[in-house]
Amino acid sequence: MKNPQPLHSILKKTLNALEMDVPLKVYSIWGAWNEIVGDSVAAQSQPRSIRNQILWVEVSHSTWMQQLHFLKPTLLEKINSFLGESLIRDIRFRLGKIFPPVPSPQKTLLLEDEKIDKETLNQIERMLQKIEDQEVKKSLRKVLINSAKMERFKGKLK
């Protein structure tokens, strides 16, 4: 058996082989819509679908639709700049219902901000002592630390 590979590299190779990396990259527009178009435009519009390199955007009002039509070249440039390549060739606007954005969790409740004590870290290091392969050791360390953080996080939610 070959040396274990990190899961992210296996997934990346698989997505590339299936030619799914480009569609997934394009759909990253949804999560970054506010960042790409700005808060005022994002409050009145939302991306809905992509077909044949055409981004369909729902807009709250016909006045906004007209305004966005004038801004189309700028929006296209911003979107493709965000994507790092020209993956969207046109934008089409239609009237629709705009849903408020889902609020992000409070910073105090983020798992990555969770701290674990030195004793737990020492215990993890003791468990990893006999593992010789550094990549495996590094990956297991990360899994064990995240598991400890998750346990601590769950305790705070109770």
Query: pLDDT at position 120, please?
Result: 87
The answer, yes or no, to whether residue 156 has pLDDT greater than 80, is: no
pLDDT in tens, 129-146: 888 888 888 888 888 888
**Domains of the chain, with CATH numbers?**
8-95 (3.30.300.180), 107-157 (no CATH)
What's the pLDDT band for 124 if we cut at 50, 70, 90? confident
pLDDT in tens, 7-56: 777 776 775 565 544 566 777 888 889 999 998 999 999 999 888 889 99
The DSSP symbol for 130 reads T
Q: Are 58 and 46 in contact (CB under 8 A)?
A: yes
pLDDT in tens, 64-109: 999 999 999 999 999 999 988 888 999 999 999 888 765 544 444 5
- Distances in Å between the alpha carbon of 61 and those of 10, 37, 65? 45, 17, 6
Query: pLDDT at position 111, please?
Result: 57
Query: pLDDT at position 91, please?
Result: 96
Which residues are paired to 93 by β-bridges? Answer: 57
